[in-house]
């Protein structure tokens, strides 16, 4: 008896049990290398020689080497004391006699003068040792060795040479921190990747293995701090039960060089302390904070410090008591200082009922306080003066606070850039910000050089990224959003890296090193952020997103409780023109920048197109550099944004041969959503601006799919992230 | 040069990359079998012979066989048309000439009279075919074949004989449904396993592979329906965009025989329909529902129907318009009926401001409506008359509605039993309910026989379990809570199964078949639910949990907005005694049961200890059957509950050799929390009841760790599940 079985042949391929790549492994996939490369890696990883006394950090480093090499070469690399050709010798001069005997330029080497490495920098060299060719991964501190191990594994995964290594790498910024906006109920503000990673409810007893993998991922890109809870802080995080929970997380993170920080609510002395006031100059308040800090350090000796959002968007702060932000920050900083802790004090403030241009207010508030902050306070400043828009000019505080260390706050989670759904590689945005020249002390005073202390000699340096990590299996909710976490870490370590090279190494580790794949995927990534700018807020427009949830277009909203929360406040489109005049004839926000910058931004002829409507109000028929009118140019940008996403879809489709089924399908599906939403953005914005300008769409331009009324009628009560 | 490497040797073992068992695979692990068993399974799975025309369901069945056999025997089983010894021949008589030629007792076999199988039952037989010994897995419908395949794989995994099979299995209950209390914002009411599994935001485009694995897991235990959203329903679920999302999920579930249902808000015609009323007798309302049902079926031809919570806990319903529950249900049922859809109408109602005993109200409300419901309405009744307590007597509606099909609603998620943290095997609770004898038509009128239609001949039968599934990697938040999902499905298929045998097969598939492991782990499971009863609410106590979140003890609460929401309402402890008099001298709730039951419950001498304080108010020195006073017995139960958890901890610790690292550690950690919380329950309740009774603790009994004031002061603003 014979039966045709035709369609059944596909059954095996359909088997749901064949575990796909679900993204959990991030860029630490360590997949088998092609034969030639596998041999090359194997030859330089014949054994691991580590110090006799290993710390938890060195144990983690060795484990990572073994895991990585086993994955790439299908071979278990022995831990050995024998120096042979191809050995990996790791350690610090203090822990390893082998490392000490090499004359390496490490700070504490041989008791001589300090070498060029910061304490968490590392050095990778191929040297001869006892007649054998070995690879040395050395550092002053164990965590530096761990960073060096991850760097070597990155080289091994991305195809770098491994036989003539002479790498010295030191982080340019001291505190490289992820800010989690995670609430104690497990929700994540502006989180689009599932619930909070922290299972507060079952901490401190239950330690999810994900906590370790989170720490590994961070350490692999040099992140050394994590603020565990939302800046819109719940006071309970400072109660004893939560301190126990935080201590449990700290114990998991410690071997990976990651300190924990907490966001605190300024009114905590009242909320949970039973005091009648939170006045920072009240001695009972100061005593309460001292006792609380002592309590924390008793459980977490390497606690990082506090992050504070105060007198901002309704949160309590020192101004409620007639005190300054410096008074507020300093009362927290004082007890932290002996322990080595810091206060990250956020500069994101703007007043209720102020007629002043919102983007000017942080500068006005904080510049007079320069020099008034305690030594261990770092002012944390968003990249732009508004709020994490697809594009903003750099924040004018950068360059304006010579005596106050400024940390740069970037948003990795895509609150305003399509959530975790849209493919928007933020390495490009981060690079643009870091490279922006403030001219604070002449040409070359880039934001990066402000933040890394180069310009003003800040004793402390920091950078923070608002995390896009959640309990989603792939951590960030989508394959490509992982790249934004990665790019943040890499740029925090070295702001000189280019977004392009970061994309390249991330793609190699996360997907494939096939040239055809790399070329196309890299192109998609590098174009993606500008596409978002184009279909959402081109030419210096900003904050056109839907109210509160920030999903989709809503440029028509003009009637919220606070004017500066409305899109209309920012574009002011009317029959006579569009844009916010921030020159001397308007709010004069340009004057907050150094003169070379200010004059460029203020000059209609000189201002870059991408900031035009941010700084200027112009008529619809204003003639652009391109020769087109503003209206034509605006339409063109919206069209281009949509066209770019459609091109990304086509390009991605060609990559199917190089990508596993699950991640290919997910990216394809998300690009489909992105294309639909890009069209929605374009159509809704053009329909609206047309209604304001009274102009027609240029010939050949597609009509919006629906009426303006349709777009205005849409409601999204269950948008995520709130 | 020689270095000691001592501690480093553990590094490899510590490697975080060695993927542990994270629980994702549930009971479908298909791990390699021991050699002898592997051979035995291999001999009866030499090839898969499937019909030439395969449906998506048969494709799934074949894929599952291939996956399972490959996992167990490390061998790819071919799909073939050759009948050889050891072949697995699957199909229906209509699709497979091979099956048709066998004289199997299937309903549609050979056009003869119907066989004994329901349409989704299956038959597994070892037969000779063309001179070869084969295993036939046959059914009337493809979904029955899928169920048969899962049954065969279960036998293969659990060590059952595979050569003399003659299994006929038909589900006793027609609609076997999971109720998800998932909100559209991704939260889950009474969910303790992460966010909702449904990524509403990115549906319908993005189809998470988990949806398929969810369907597989359900199909493997015979579940054939899923209500996707919370009974506290948001009206938007019925808008066009959400219907598209639901349709996408339905398309994933369809091959696995799972229909989707939706919870609807009774006021939807107003909320999203623009009507002024939701009066079920208003023709515009009826027309709105007709149109909505048509709209749904146009997209989801096998849509299951609606679940409705109405006039309950503040939700809108027909009574707001002076109509009855039957009026409300029937207006929804009418348009569903031609499509084959049903209405599950919940009986969980109790009035605001009623002086009537809460547990009597559902009976009073619904018994007069018996016979008034449309044919396709099923009244969904919780197992007990209160609300999913650790123990309740069965609901008196069971047996009291001869003309209205009653579905049993069980709660799989542990709202009142320690969330996903406590190990509480609910198979025991479900079995207790199903086996409870209502005496509605004489002895043997068990709840199971009411629900399966045996007693009253219901034309439709159903059972619902409130799901404990979320986006947690292990689905249910803990290794052992998976067993409650499993037990629900198995008992829904066959209420005659014992909780013990279900635990045994679940343990074998989920962990190990080692006798030592099975003996101990099974003992832990079977004792666990009684332990919870003992440390929370022994001797018929109920509803002592913390307000709203239901976490931890709060017997002292007596001042909520509604008296029947307070613990005090249920225990009424005072100097003269404790308990709720539900005999004729009190609320006379006992009279709602059939006379043999009522007389037993009403009789202080006959009432089982476990229901004593549910039905009776007795003095503290009341002499129990044991000879001890009530007070002594109460203390003893609380002590025993705690001791049982501590014994579970010790027993679990002995199982380390049999369990993978990750699940062993997680269970250990959760038992640690459970033990601490069991102590808290015991201590707080004894401290409170002591304060009410004025009695001392018996000699030798441990003092509560803290003062009553301490326990009363505890607050849990971020408890999960709300």
pLDDT at A113 over 80: no
Calpha distance B599→B615 (Å, rounded): 11
pLDDT of residue A660: 96
pLDDT at B380 over 60: yes
Q: Tell me which of B561 and A432 has the higher pLDDT.
A: A432
Q: Nearest-5° angle of CA B450, CA B451, CA B457?
A: 65
Q: Nearest-5° angle of CA B569, CA B367, CA B460?
A: 115
Do the beta carbons of residue B175 and residue B342 sit within 8 Å? Answer: yes
pLDDT of residue B354: 87
Do the beta carbons of residue B266 and residue B231 sit within 8 Å? Answer: no
User: Which entry of B415, B431, B437, B644 is annotated as an active-site residue?
Assistant: B415
For residue A228, CA distances in Å to A94, A262, B291 come to: 33, 6, 49
- Nearest Cβ partner for A718 among B11, B184, B665: B184
pLDDT range class, residue B352, cuts 50, 70, 90: confident
Interchain CB distance below 8 Å, A18 and B50: no
pLDDT of residue B6: 31
pLDDT for B490-514, tens place per residue? 999 999 999 999 999 999 999 999 9
pLDDT at A148 over 90: yes
Angle between the N-to-C axes of helices B482-493 and B209-220, in degrees from 0 to 180, rounded to the nearest 10? 50
pLDDT of residue B396: 98
Interchain CB distance below 8 Å, A79 and B17: no
pLDDT for B139-176, tens place per residue? 999 999 999 999 999 999 999 999 999 999 999 999 99
Interchain CB distance below 8 Å, A206 and B6: no
pLDDT range class, residue A114, cuts 50, 70, 90: low
Place of tokens 């601490």: B676
Residues of B in contact with A28 (CB under 8 A): 17
The Cα of A1 is separated from the nearest Cα of chain B by a number of Å equal to: 7
Calpha distance B199→B202 (Å, rounded): 6
The catalytic residue positions of A are: 313, 387, 415
pLDDT range class, residue A161, cuts 50, 70, 90: very high
**pLDDT, mean of residues A565-590:** 97
3-state SS of B430-494? HHHHHHCECCECECCCEHHHHHCCCCCCCCCCEEEEECCCCCCCCCCCCCCCHHHHHHHHHHHHC
Question: What are the backbone angles phi and psi of residue B425, rounded to the nearest 5°?
Answer: -75, 110
The Cα of B523 is separated from the nearest Cα of chain A by a number of Å equal to: 24
The Cα of A73 is separated from the nearest Cα of chain B by a number of Å equal to: 15
The Cα of A304 is separated from the nearest Cα of chain B by a number of Å equal to: 25
Calpha distance A81→A484 (Å, rounded): 40
Largest CA distance in chain B: 94
pLDDT for A618-647, tens place per residue? 999 999 999 999 999 999 999 999 999 999
pLDDT range class, residue A3, cuts 50, 70, 90: very low
Do the beta carbons of residue A487 and residue A468 sit within 8 Å? Answer: no
Interchain CB distance below 8 Å, B98 and A3: yes
SS3 A494: coil
Place of tokens 């045998």: B501
SS3 A615: helix
pLDDT range class, residue A351, cuts 50, 70, 90: confident
pLDDT at B1 over 80: no
pLDDT for B603-637, tens place per residue? 999 999 999 999 999 999 999 999 999 999 999 99
SS3 B515: helix
Calpha distance B526→A696 (Å, rounded): 75
User: Which entry of B141, B387, B437, B534 is annotated as an active-site residue?
Assistant: B387
Task: Output the average pLDDT for chain A.
Answer: 94
pLDDT at B17 over 80: no
Q: How far is CA B563 from the centre of its chain?
A: 29
Q: How far is CA B3 from the centre of its chain?
A: 58
pLDDT of residue A146: 98
Question: Which tokens in the block code for residue B623?
Answer: 């002499």
Residues of B in contact with A213 (CB under 8 A): 16
Question: Which tokens in the block code for residue B355?
Answer: 């002086």
Interface pTM (ipTM) of the complex?
0.94
Residues of B in contact with A670 (CB under 8 A): 202, 205-206
Residues of A in contact with B6 (CB under 8 A): 52
Q: How many CB pairs under 8 A join A and B?
A: 207
Number of Cβ within a 10 Å radius of residue B605: 6
Task: Report the residue of chain B nearest A62, measured CA to CA.
Answer: B11
pLDDT of residue B722: 83
Question: Which tokens in the block code for residue B264?
Answer: 């609807």
Residues of A in contact with B130 (CB under 8 A): 1
Task: Output the average pLDDT for chain B.
Answer: 94
Question: Which tokens in the block code for residue A420?
Answer: 């975790």
Q: Please count the CA atoms within 13 angstroms of the CA of A352 that sit on its side-chain side.
A: 8
The Cα of A210 is separated from the nearest Cα of chain B by a number of Å equal to: 10
- Nearest Cβ partner for B6 among A52, A185, A672: A52
Interchain CB distance below 8 Å, A1 and B419: no
Residues of A in contact with B67 (CB under 8 A): 15-18
Do the beta carbons of residue A645 and residue A535 sit within 8 Å? Answer: yes
Q: Going by C-beta distance under 8 Å and a sequence separation of 6 or more, which residues neighbour residue B339?
A: B293, B297, B301, B303
Q: What is the DSSP string of A516-550?
A: HHHHHHHHHHHHHHHHHHHHHSGGG----BPTTT-
pLDDT at A15 over 60: no
Taking Cα atoms as reference points, which of A294, A342, A347, A287 lies closest to residue A317? A347
Residue length of chain A: 722
How many helices (H) and strands (E) chain B has is answered by 22, 13
Do the beta carbons of residue A470 and residue B199 sit within 8 Å? Answer: no
pLDDT of residue A137: 97
The Cα of A8 is separated from the nearest Cα of chain B by a number of Å equal to: 6
Q: What is the DSSP string of A26-66?
A: TT---PPPPHHHHHHHHHT-SEEE--SS--HHHHHHHHHHH
Burial label for B647, CB within 10 Å (0-12, 13-18, 19+), is middle
Alpha helices by DSSP H, listed for A300-426, are 325-336, 361-366
> At B246, which helix (H) or strand (E)?
helix B240-253
Taking Cα atoms as reference points, which of A385, A673, A389 lies closest to residue A529? A389
- Nearest Cβ partner for A79 among B11, B52, B666: B11
The DSSP symbol for B37 reads H
Interchain CB distance below 8 Å, A62 and B186: no
Taking Cα atoms as reference points, which of A177, A173, A171 lies closest to residue A466? A177
Contacts 24+ apart (CB under 8 A), B369-372: B369/B324, B369/B325, B369/B326, B369/B404, B370/B400, B370/B401, B370/B402, B370/B403, B370/B404, B371/B403, B371/B404, B372/B324, B372/B326
User: Which entry of B130, B313, B519, B703 is annotated as an active-site residue?
Assistant: B313
pLDDT range class, residue A9, cuts 50, 70, 90: very low
pLDDT at A361 over 70: yes
Interchain CB distance below 8 Å, B62 and A670: no
Calpha distance B250→B299 (Å, rounded): 10
User: What's the Rg (C-alpha) of chain A?
Assistant: 27
Calpha distance A109→A94 (Å, rounded): 8
pLDDT at A6 over 50: no
**pLDDT, mean of residues A452-460:** 95
**pLDDT, mean of residues A370-390:** 98
Residues of B in contact with A130 (CB under 8 A): 1
Residues of B in contact with A183 (CB under 8 A): 718
Number of Cβ within a 10 Å radius of residue A260: 23
pLDDT range class, residue B117, cuts 50, 70, 90: low
Question: Which tokens in the block code for residue B340?
Answer: 């084959």
**pLDDT, mean of residues B36-56:** 94
Beta-bridge mates of residue A346: A380
Question: Which tokens in the block code for residue A203?
Answer: 């901490």
Interchain CB distance below 8 Å, A63 and B717: no
Number of Cβ within a 10 Å radius of residue B623: 13
User: What's the Rg (C-alpha) of chain B?
Assistant: 27
Number of Cβ within a 10 Å radius of residue A559: 9
Interchain CB distance below 8 Å, A234 and B718: yes
Taking Cα atoms as reference points, which of A374, A266, A381 lies closest to residue A319? A266
Calpha distance A569→A587 (Å, rounded): 13
Interchain CB distance below 8 Å, B8 and A662: no
Beta-bridge mates of residue A178: A226, A465
Percent of chain A with pLDDT strictly greater than 70: 96
Calpha distance A47→B74 (Å, rounded): 33
Calpha distance A21→A16 (Å, rounded): 12
Do the beta carbons of residue B228 and residue B182 sit within 8 Å? Answer: yes
Do the beta carbons of residue A573 and residue A693 sit within 8 Å? Answer: yes
Q: Tell me which of B562 and A421 has the higher pLDDT.
A: A421
- Nearest Cβ partner for B5 among A50, A186, A662: A50
The Cα of B253 is separated from the nearest Cα of chain A by a number of Å equal to: 13
Q: How far is CA A338 from the centre of its chain?
A: 29
| C-alpha dihedral sign at B614, B620, B623, B627 | positive
Taking Cα atoms as reference points, which of B191, B637, B173 lies closest to residue B390? B637
Calpha distance A86→A221 (Å, rounded): 25
Calpha distance A568→A565 (Å, rounded): 9
Task: Report the residue of chain A nearest B17, measured CA to CA.
Answer: A67
Percent of chain A with pLDDT strictly greater than 90: 91
Interchain CB distance below 8 Å, A1 and B666: no
pLDDT range class, residue A54, cuts 50, 70, 90: confident
Calpha distance B88→B324 (Å, rounded): 54
Do the beta carbons of residue A435 and residue A156 sit within 8 Å? Answer: no
Q: Is the peptide bond before A204 cis (omega within 30 degrees of 0)?
A: yes
Calpha distance A519→A71 (Å, rounded): 25
Interchain CB distance below 8 Å, A670 and B66: no
pLDDT for B455-495, tens place per residue? 999 999 999 999 999 999 999 999 999 999 999 999 999 99
């Amino acid at each position: 008896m014979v039966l045709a079985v035709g369609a059944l042949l596909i059954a095996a391929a359909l088997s749901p049990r064949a575990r796909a790549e679900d993204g959990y492994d991030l860029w630490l996939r360590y997949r088998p290398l092609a034969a030639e490369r596998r041999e090359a890696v194997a030859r330089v990883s014949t054994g691991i020689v580590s110090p006799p006394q290993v710390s938890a950090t060195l144990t983690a480093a060795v484990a990572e080497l073994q895991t990585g090499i086993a994955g790439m070469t299908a071979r278990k690399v022995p831990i050995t004391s024998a120096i042979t050709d191809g050995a990996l010798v790791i350690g610090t001069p203090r822990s390893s006699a082998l490392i000490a005997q090499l004359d390496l330029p490490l700070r504490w080497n041989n008791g001589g003068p300090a070498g060029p490495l910061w304490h968490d920098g590392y050095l990778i060299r191929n040297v001869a040792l006892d007649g054998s060719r070995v690879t040395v991964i050395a550092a002053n501190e164990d965590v530096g060795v761990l960073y060096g191990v991850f760097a070597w594994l990155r080289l091994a995964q991305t195809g770098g040479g491994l036989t003539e290594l002479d790498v010295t790498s030191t982080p340019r910024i001291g505190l490289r921190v992820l800010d989690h906006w995670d609430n104690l109920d497990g929700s994540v503000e502006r989180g689009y990747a599932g619930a909070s990673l922290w299972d507060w409810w079952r901490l401190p007893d239950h330690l999810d293995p994900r906590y370790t993998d989170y720490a590994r991922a961070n350490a692999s890109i040099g992140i050394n701090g994590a603020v565990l809870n939302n800046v819109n802080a719940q006071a309970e995080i400072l109660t004893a039960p939560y301190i126990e929970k935080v201590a449990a997380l700290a114990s998991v993170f410690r071997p990976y060089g990651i300190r924990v920080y907490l966001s605190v609510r300024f009114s905590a002395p009242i909320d949970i302390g039973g005091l009648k006031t939170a006045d920072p100059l009240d001695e009972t308040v100061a005593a309460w904070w001292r006792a609380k800090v002592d309590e924390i350090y008793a459980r977490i000796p390497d606690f990082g410090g506090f992050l504070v959002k105060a007198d901002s968007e309704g949160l309590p702060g020192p101004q409620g008591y007639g005190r300054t932000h410096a008074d507020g920050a300093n009362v927290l900083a004082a007890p932290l200082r002996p322990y080595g802790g810091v206060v990250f004090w956020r500069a994101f403030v703007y007043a209720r009922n102020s007629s002043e241009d919102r983007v000017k207010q942080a500068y006005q508030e904080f510049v007079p306080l320069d020099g008034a902050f305690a030594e261990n306070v770092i002012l944390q400043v968003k990249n732009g003066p508004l709020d994490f828009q697809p594009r903003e000019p750099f924040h004018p505080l950068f360059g304006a606070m010579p005596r106050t260390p400024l940390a740069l706050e970037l948003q990795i989670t895509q609150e305003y850039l399509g959530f975790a759904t849209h493919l928007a590689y933020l390495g490009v945005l981060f690079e643009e910000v870091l490279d922006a020249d403030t001219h604070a002390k002449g040409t070359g005073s880039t934001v990066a050089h402000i933040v890394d202390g180069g310009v003003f000699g800040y004793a402390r340096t920091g950078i923070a990224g608002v995390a896009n990590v959640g309990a989603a299996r792939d951590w960030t909710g989508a394959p490509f959003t992982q790249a934004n976490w990665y790019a943040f870490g890499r740029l925090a370590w070295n702001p000189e890296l280019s977004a392009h090279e970061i994309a390249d190494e991330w793609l190699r580790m996360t997907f494939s090193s096939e040239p055809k794949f790399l070329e196309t995927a890299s192109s998609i990534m590098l174009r993606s952020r500008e596409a978002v700018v184009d279909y959402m807020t081109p030419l210096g427009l900003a904050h056109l997103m839907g109210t509160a949830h920030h999903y989709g277009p809503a440029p028509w909203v003009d009637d919220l409780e606070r004017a500066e929360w409305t899109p209309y406040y920012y574009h002011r489109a009317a029959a006579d023109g569009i844009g916010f005049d921030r020159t001397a004839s308007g709010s004069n926000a340009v004057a907050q920048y150094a003169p070379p910058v200010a004059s460029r931004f203020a000059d209609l002829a000189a201002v870059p197109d991408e900031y035009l409507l941010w700084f200027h109000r112009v008529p619809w028929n204003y003639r652009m550099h391109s020769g087109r009118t503003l209206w034509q140019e605006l339409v063109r940008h919206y069209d281009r944004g949509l066209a770019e996403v459609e091109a990304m879809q086509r390009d991605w489709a060609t990559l199917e041969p190089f990508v596993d089924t699950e991640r290919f399908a997910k990216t394809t599906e998300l690009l489909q959503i992105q294309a639909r939403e890009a069209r929605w953005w374009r159509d809704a914005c053009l329909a609206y601006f047309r209604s304001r300008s009274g102009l027609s769409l240029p010939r050949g331009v597609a009509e919006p799919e629906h009426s303006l009324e349709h777009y205005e009628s849409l409601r999204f009560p269950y948008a995520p992230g709130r």
